[in-house]
Amino acid sequence: MVGSEAASHFAAPVKIKQMEKILLRNIDVPEFHRLAAYESAGGYRSWRRVVENMKPAELIDEVKASGLRGRGGAGFPTGMKWSFVPKDSPKPKYLVCNADESEPGTFKDRLLMERDPHAVLEGTLIAAYAIQSHTAFIYVRGELAFGATQLESAVAEAYRTGLIGKKIFGSGYDLDVIVHRGAGAYICGEETALLSSLEGSRGWPKLKPPFPATHGMFGCPTVVNNVETLAALPWILERGAAAYAALGTEKSKGTKLFSVSGHIAKPGVYELEMGYPFKTFLEEDCGGVPNGKKLKGVIPGGASMPVLRPEEIEKVNLDYESVQAAGSLLGSGGVIVMDETTCMVRAAWNLARFFAHESCGQCSPCREGCHWMEKIFHRIEHGEGEAADLDLILNISGNIMGNTICPFGDAAAMPAAAFIKKFRDEFDAHIAKKRCTVRRELE
Amino acid sequence: MDPVKITIDGKEINTTKGKTVIQVADEVGIEIPRYCYHPKLSIAGNCRMCLVEIEKMPKLQIACNTQVAEGMNVLTQSPKVLAVRKAVLEFLLINHPVDCPICDQAGECWLQDYYMEHDRRESRFDVGKVHDRKRTIFGPNVIFDGERCIKCTRCVRFCQEITKTNELTVINRSDHSTIALFDDSVLDNPLSANVVDICPVGALTDRDFRFKVRVWYLQKTPSICPGCSTGCNISVETYQNRIARFKPRINEAVNSHWLCDEGRYCFHDLAGGERLTTPLIRQEGGLVAATWEQALQAIYAGLKGSPSIAGILSGRNTNEEAYLFAKLMKRFRADAALEVFYQERKLNEVEKILVSPDRSPNFRGARAMGVGSSDGFDALLRRLLSGEFAAAFVVGEDLTKAAEPEAVRAALQKLSFLVVQDTRVTETTELAHVVLPATHFGEKEGTYTNREGRLQKLNDAVIPPEGALPDSEIFARLLELSGESNGYGSPAQIFASLAREIPGYENLTYDAIGPQGIELGSGGGAAS
Amino acid sequence: MAVEFSPETLKKFEETVGRYPKKEAAMLPVLYLAQQEFGYLGPEAIAYVARLMGQEPARVQGVVSFYTMFNTRPIGRHHIQVCRTLPCALGGAERITAFIKRKLGIDIGQTTADGRFTLSEVECLASCGTAPMMQINDDYYENLNEEKTEKILESLT
């Protein structure tokens, strides 16, 4: 049952605004996961150009000039990340495609893996070449079995036709690609936890410094890039950095995929030029909140990011700086829409439960603090909250932030604090009345 | 090494590149609290207790993983740091059971200590603690309590990096993370109890010591382990004149931070048994109590003029005792065959980390003092068993454990005169003509020379039972009887004497030996 | 009761290990092979994998227990995993879970008496746009309602 059946269930309408599609340009082409279709649309021309005509330093400069930033959530400039790899290191270098998409509200990488795996693969190859890695891994979360098999087929096709393997295109460059499946752990989306997992261990994040660029997998220089970031590379190499940089805003170049879910008329994956107005996007492109309900809150960038009230998104554009200025973060671009029927106490508890379950348990503030917050949210939600509970959660959240080994602590702390801060009245009422005061609870 | 200058709390420190802030702080005596960091284990960075403020860095940094850089300015007492320590302690305490009244760690528990020093706030936690396995036996010497555990992973890293036996692991995730053994395996490597030492809390405790005595009642005496010739530095901890436990003392030149299980618990055997409290002389019916006068006279008479004498000294006797024993025996017969008890045993890979292949802690020192020949103990034992000697003086060893017991008993019974000096009744004392009650390692002051040639000091931790005398005093009295009038008194005085005679020990003074000992031939220990 | 790989699986094991720069990196795929071969990863399977990989079993157990997709106990033929994270919750996931519980007569974490189904609640499966949804073994079933859910369960033997 893996395969087309699952793909057809993913029937979310995918609509792109009037602009040239980059990432989703071939997403509706049937059988586009096959090499023949991909190549006939111009696929692997960029890869060939890179191997035959470019030096790694040139390639890095080109990607730097494009302004491409990491699309996994951190938004770190991709070219700069590549340039941190010491060129003269005698150790093997590793390139890892982070396909561990697990941020709640995010399902864009999955779409690319399932419907355009060769774009993901080609981007992986290009990135590997930039850092002169001869072994690339695609780390796919274990649950995405279909996505993994699509990628495995793509890799097999690429080997068969000499796109990867030894002496590619007759050059001196060898490259192996391994599709590696995770086994169920959100934390393995964090790059150093991913590397621990790839090394065959528990998915525990590593202490930084040293950083993966110099001491990554097995202590060797390693770069970890998100699926969406890599999928943009073939187009950038084909059309040039300037073309990519011409799109978007000054600090947020290019396009981004947004996963839209929750109380919205047209959920799905959208590709937008960076800087597109948030409100317009929700109300027009996504069809607005259905059933005549009003918007109550929206998370712009995946569950880790602070929720925004409707009035807060009036002037927000979907780019890194604008969302940050509004007090949240663009993150993975996972837009979760909540209407007036949503009990924000229950929503906050739901996410607190997520983080408590996914904490790796390595460091004390996160291991103990996440579940503590969940328990307090739980008792508030069930009508046993106490007046001091809200400030307690805010304090716990503040004690976790910045004090953990990896950003998971921050990811858990931010939503907890944001829900309380933005919907304080509702929390107060829920505590005082010992029950949900929103007429219809989450079902 | 590249020099680096940093400042910690306003104090300028000259250090070298490659060190971490916590290492430098430890070196200069600035206290930064920590749980997971241990100088001998890899850096884990998970407890977050050592977070400090570093100028120009927006977030607090863990001192254990921050390398020093020129001009670095570290604050360990800033308001942010003081606040984060409270926060971390709170996180560690929310699921911690209030076991103090029944927990052996009380009094030496780092949660208690840091809470008193850095926190002292009331608990805000009332949503139900996470529960885990309690009273879980991990091995013959170690018992585990999962609720008390703070997941610092010191124990796991010890088994991975020091013994390399990998018995322990962390299982599960989130706050269900806990320490576990695989299936029905056991934590029984030869160094297993060290995890008790390094566990900062009462999660891993010593089964032998369990519920015995509160640690604040213990008297602690620095000494040397009498288990083997490694000479691990220990603290002998006693209560009401009984040894309650050994703990290792840090000595990087000998045992680092560790102690083997056999050495750790050897006091049960060596300080135990049915103590001899009076000299005994063999009469018609058997061994009969006698006065010291009578016993020493009997020995003098029995050994003087004997055609052949063997002298076997325990490897647990000190240099001072060995020096006097050699002198004494040579006065009876210049050709007395003297050896210090020494039997080689095979060690496994883990034992080899620390243990020496013998159970004679001072064999090297004793030999240097004159108790030894080129033939070795095995040869002497063979000669004894073949009936070569007329008389023998055995100190501190039960020879029926050294060879086939029947053969030993037969040989000893054939001796015309056998003197046995020991702390307790053994099969060998039962066969003696004269038995002298002596003292064990915990009741004496003196020096051992370990296998590597390090001179280290024992200190007396318990008072011997009424009636027993220190070995050195017994030998001194016998020497007096035999005409030697040097009047050997305290171990320090005896040492001064031996330092004048024994090659390798010249220019050493007893008082200069110090708690970490001195390497012979290094020139250390000379009176200034 | 010792377990071991069949010759075919051993071959797959060798191929898998051969692809990685170091043997230990193949731990997760090897554990998947073992789970497939032995049904679940109990102490015997863990001890066997440890031996194959040249590691101590405690370490392998630490790895197995970290990841939700490794089963340390036998489960039903069809592992129903309903997503419960926020977007699916907003879409009615709790109703679907309640329905399945009623229909199969089991609670979360339990298996039907005939060994057909095990029910779990899981976190976000990257299918938020088609909520509510569930995963059964390797397959995603999206845009669920009670009727669809019922049909899906009935189709699985």
> Which chain B positions have a beta carbon within 8 Å of C61's beta carbon?
169, 171, 180, 182-183
Retrieve residue A72's tokens.
């996994």
Q: Say yes or no for a CB contact (<8 Å) between B169 and C58.
A: yes
In B, what residues contact A, Cβ < 8 A?
Answer: 43, 45-49, 51, 59-60, 62, 65, 67, 84, 87-88, 90-92, 94-95, 124-125, 127-128, 130, 150-151, 170, 172-177
Nearest CA in chain C to B180: C58
| Contact partners, residue A129, CB within 8 Å, separation at least 6 | A50, A51, A54, A56, A59, A173, A175
* Per-residue pLDDT at C2: 77
Same domain, C61 and C96: no
* Per-residue pLDDT at A17: 52
Peptide bond into C132 cis (omega under 30): yes
Same domain, C103 and C148: yes
B238 conformational bin, left if phi > 0, alpha if psi -120 to 50, beta if neither: beta
CA-based nearest residue to A413, from A368, A355, A362: A355
Q: Say yes or no for a CB contact (<8 Å) between B173 and A207.
A: no
Q: Give the best residue of A368, A375, A382 to mutate against chain B (max B CB count within 10 A).
A: A368
Q: What residues form DSSP beta bridges with A268?
A: A260
Q: In this complex, which of C28, C129, C140 lies closest to A200 when CB atoms are compared?
A: C28
Rounded distance between C-alpha atoms, residue A116 and residue B222, angstroms: 71
ipTM: 0.97
Size of chain B, expressed as the number of residues it contains: 528
Same domain, C151 and C94: yes
Retrieve residue B11's tokens.
């104090």
Q: How many CB atoms lie within 10 A of CB A42?
A: 12
> Which chain B positions have a beta carbon within 8 Å of C55's beta carbon?
166
> Which chain C positions have a beta carbon within 8 Å of A443's beta carbon?
92, 94-95
Nearest CA in chain B to A386: B126
Q: Say yes or no for a CB contact (<8 Å) between C65 and B183.
A: no
Nearest CA in chain B to C59: B169
Q: Using pLDDT thresholds of 50, 70 and 90, give the confidence band for residue B507.
A: confident
Q: Say yes or no for a CB contact (<8 Å) between A368 and B177.
A: no
Same domain, C93 and C138: yes
Q: In this complex, which of C25, C67, C140 lies closest to A183 when CB atoms are compared?
A: C67
- Whether C1 is covered by a domain: the verdict is no
Same domain, C135 and C94: yes
Same domain, C85 and C150: yes
- Whether C117 is covered by a domain: the verdict is yes
Compute the average pLDDT of residues B277-290.
96
Strand ranges for B105-224 from DSSP E:
136-137, 142-144, 168-171, 178-181, 204-206, 219-224
* Per-residue pLDDT at A440: 52
- Whether C34 is covered by a domain: the verdict is yes
Q: Say yes or no for a CB contact (<8 Å) between B60 and A402.
A: yes
Sign of CA dihedral A195, A196, A202, A207: negative
Q: Say yes or no for a CB contact (<8 Å) between A207 and B170.
A: no
| pLDDT tens-digit series, residues B188-235 | 999 999 999 999 999 999 999 999 999 999 999 999 999 999 999 999
- Using a CB–CB cutoff of 8 Å, tell me whether A349 touches chain C: no
Overall number of domains in chain C: 2
Q: What residues form DSSP beta bridges with B439?
A: none
* Per-residue pLDDT at B17: 96
| pLDDT tens-digit series, residues C36-48 | 999 999 999 999 9
> Which chain A positions have a beta carbon within 8 Å of B125's beta carbon?
372
Domain that holds residue C21: 7-66
Q: How many CB atoms lie within 10 A of CB C128?
A: 35
Q: Say yes or no for a CB contact (<8 Å) between A334 and C128.
A: yes
| pLDDT tens-digit series, residues B347-369 | 999 999 999 999 999 999 999 99
CA-based nearest residue to B230, from B354, B369, B315: B354
Could you tell me the maximum CA-CA distance found in chain B, to the nearest angstrom? 89
- The torsion angle over the Cα atoms of residues A393, A398, A400 and A406, rounded to 10 degrees, is 130
Q: In this complex, which of B124, B128, B173 lies closest to A360 when CB atoms are compared?
A: B173
Burial environment of residue A18 by CB neighbours within 10 A (0 to 12, 13 to 18, 19 or more): exposed
| Contact partners, residue B342, CB within 8 Å, separation at least 6 | B315, B358, B360, B363, B376, B377
Could you list the mean pLDDT of each consecutive 10-residue stretch along chain A, which spans 443 residues? Answer: 35 52 94 96 97 97 98 95 96 98 98 98 98 98 98 98 97 97 98 98 97 98 98 97 95 96 97 95 96 97 97 96 96 97 97 98 98 98 96 98 98 98 97 87 45
> Which chain B positions have a beta carbon within 8 Å of A369's beta carbon?
91
Nearest CA in chain A to B153: A362
Q: In this complex, which of A362, A375, A405 lies closest to B128 when CB atoms are compared?
A: A375
Q: How many CB atoms lie within 10 A of CB A57?
A: 11
Domain containing residue C92: CATH number = 3.40.30.10
| Measured distance between the N- and C-terminal CA atoms of chain A, rounded to whole angstroms | 29
> Which chain C positions have a beta carbon within 8 Å of B195's beta carbon?
none
Examine the pLDDT at B480 and tell me if it is beyond 50.
yes
| Contact partners, residue A407, CB within 8 Å, separation at least 6 | A74, A190
Q: In this complex, which of B48, B94, B125 lies closest to A363 when CB atoms are compared?
A: B48
Same domain, C82 and C146: yes
Domains and CATH numbers, chain A: 35-245 (3.40.50.11540), 255-339 (3.10.20.600), 344-442 (1.20.1440.230)
Q: A364-381 and A424-433 are packed helices; what angle lies between their axes, rounded to 10 degrees?
A: 60
pTM of the model: 0.95
| Contact partners, residue B305, CB within 8 Å, separation at least 6 | none
Express the helix, strand and coil content of chain B in percent, nearest 5 each.
Answer: 30, 20, 50
Nearest CA in chain C to B168: C58
Nearest CA in chain C to A110: C126
- Whether C71 is covered by a domain: the verdict is no
Name the DSSP letter for residue B155.
Answer: H
- The torsion angle over the Cα atoms of residues B470, B475, B478 and B484, rounded to 10 degrees, is -130
Domain containing residue C62: CATH number = 1.10.10.1590
Q: Which chains are within 8 Å of C by 3+ CB pairs?
A: A, B
Q: In this complex, which of B43, B95, B172 lies closest to A368 when CB atoms are compared?
A: B95
Same domain, C58 and C14: yes
Rounded distance between C-alpha atoms, residue B397 and residue B279, angstroms: 17
Q: In this complex, which of B168, B172, B173 lies closest to C58 when CB atoms are compared?
A: B168
Rounded distance between C-alpha atoms, residue C70 and residue A190, angstroms: 20
Rounded distance between C-alpha atoms, residue B244 and residue B309, angstroms: 39
3-state secondary structure B175-195: HHCEEEECCCCCCCCCCCCHH
Q: Say yes or no for a CB contact (<8 Å) between B182 and C43.
A: yes
- Whether C60 is covered by a domain: the verdict is yes
Q: What residues form DSSP beta bridges with B142?
A: B206
Q: What residues form DSSP beta bridges with A180?
A: A139
Q: Using pLDDT thresholds of 50, 70 and 90, give the confidence band for residue B523.
A: low
- Whether C73 is covered by a domain: the verdict is no
Q: Say yes or no for a CB contact (<8 Å) between A357 and B174.
A: yes
Domains and CATH numbers, chain B: 3-92 (3.10.20.740), 97-114+123-211 (3.30.70.20), 280-519 (3.40.50.740)
Same domain, C105 and C132: yes
Same domain, C89 and C146: yes
Give the end of a domain, one of C39, C66, C93.
Answer: C66
CA distance C133 to chain B (A): 25
Rounded distance between C-alpha atoms, residue A99 and residue A329, angstroms: 21
Same domain, C88 and C146: yes
Q: What residues form DSSP beta bridges with A298?
A: A308, A337
Give the end of a domain, one of C66, C90, C107.
Answer: C66
Which H helix or E strand runs over B452?
A: none
Q: Which chains are within 8 Å of B by 3+ CB pairs?
A: A, C
Whole-Å CA distances, B93 to A279, B53, B110, B120, B132 = 45, 23, 12, 12, 15
* Per-residue pLDDT at A7: 38
| pLDDT tens-digit series, residues B236-265 | 999 999 999 999 999 999 999 999 999 999
Rounded distance between C-alpha atoms, residue B193 and residue B187, angstroms: 9
Size of the A and C interface in Cβ pairs below 8 Å: 171
Q: Say yes or no for a CB contact (<8 Å) between A267 and C129.
A: yes
Which H helix or E strand runs over A93?
A: none
Rounded distance between C-alpha atoms, residue B208 and residue B269, angstroms: 13
Q: In this complex, which of A104, A186, A199 lies closest to C86 when CB atoms are compared?
A: A104
| pLDDT tens-digit series, residues B46-65 | 999 999 999 999 999 999 99
* Per-residue pLDDT at B393: 98
With H, G, I as helix, E, B as strand and everything else as coil, classify residue B167.
coil
- If you search the block for the tokens 């009003």, which residue do you land on? A294
Same domain, C95 and C151: yes
